[in-house]
Structure 1
Amino acid sequence: MSSTEFLTRRPIAHRGLHDERARRMENSPSAFEAACLRDFAIELDVQLSADNMAIVFHDETLDRLTDQTGPLAGRTAAELGRVKLGDTSDLIPTLAETFALIDGRVPVVVEMKDNGPRNIALAGAVAADLAGYAGPAAVMSFAHDLLSAFRDTDSAVPLGLTAEGIGTPAFVEHEKALAQSISFVSYHVKALPNPFVARVREELGLPVITWTVRTPEDVAATRDYADQMTFEGFDPDI
Structure 2
Amino acid sequence: MIPALPDVLLRTPIAHRALHDLSDNRPENSRAAIRAAVEAGYGIEIDLQRSRDNRAMVFHDYDMTRLTGRSGPIQQITADEAQATRLLHGEDGIPTFDEVLQIVSGKVPLLIELKDQDGAMGPNVGPLEADTVRALQGYDGPVALMSFNPNSVAELARLAPNMPRGITTCSYQPEVEHLPHAVCDHLRDIPDFDRVGAGFISHEAADLSRPRVAALKAQGVPILCWTIRSPEQEAEARKVADNVTFEGYLAARPG
Aligning the two structures, in what range does the TM-score lie when normalised by the shorter sequence? over 0.9
- Displacement of 1:178 after TM fit? 2.3
TM-score computed with the length of structure 2 as normaliser: 0.87
Check whether the contact 1:171–1:196 (CA below 8 A) recurs between aligned residues.
Answer: no
**5 Å matches for 1:123-202?**
123-165=129-171, 169=185, 173-202=189-218
After TM superposition, the score normalised by the length of structure 1 is: 0.93
Question: 1:4 deviation in Å?
Answer: 2.5
Q: How many angstroms apart in 2 are the aligned matches of 1:49 and 1:90?
A: 17
- Once residues 65 and 8 of structure 2 are traced to their aligned partners in structure 1, the CA distance between those partners, rounded to angstroms, is 34
Counterpart in the other structure of 1:221? 236
Alignment of 1:55-94 (within 5 A): 55-94=57-96
Runs of 4+ with >4 A deviation = 166-173
Shift of 1:230: 0.2
Instruction: Report the residue type matching 1:88 in the other structure.
Output: G
**Contact 1:112–1:123 (CA<8 Å) still a contact in 2?**
yes
Superposition CA RMSD, Å: 2.0
Give how far 1:206 is off: 1.7
Counterpart of 1:201, as a letter, is K
Aligned residue for 2:221? 206
Provide the secondary structure at the position in 1 that maps to 2:68.
coil
Once the 2 structures are TM-superposed, how far is the Cα of residue 222 of structure 1 from its aligned partner?
1.9
**Consecutive unaligned residues in structure 1, runs of 5 or more:** none
Mapping 1:28-39, distance limit 5 Å: 28-39=30-41
Displacement of 1:156: 1.5
Distance 1:206 1:129 in 2: 27
Aligned residue in 1 for 2:180: none
- Once the two structures are superposed, residues 10-53 of structure 1 have per-residue CA deviations (whole angstroms, 9 ceiling, x without a partner) of 10000000000111000001001100111100000000111110
Amino acid at match of 1:186: S
Q: In the alignment, is the contact (CA less than 8 A) between 2:22 and 2:89 conserved in 1? A: no
Query: Unaligned 5+ residue runs, structure 2?
Result: 174-183
1:236 aligns with 2:246: no
Q: 2:66 corresponds to which letter in structure 1? A: R
Larger relative contact order (C-alpha < 8 A, sep ≥ 6)?
Answer: 2
- In the alignment, which residue of structure 1 is the partner of 2:179? none
Q: Give the Cα separation in 1 of the matches to 2:159 and 2:200.
A: 18
The SS at the match of 1:44 is: strand
Aligned partners of 1:108 and 1:154: how far apart in 2? Answer: 16
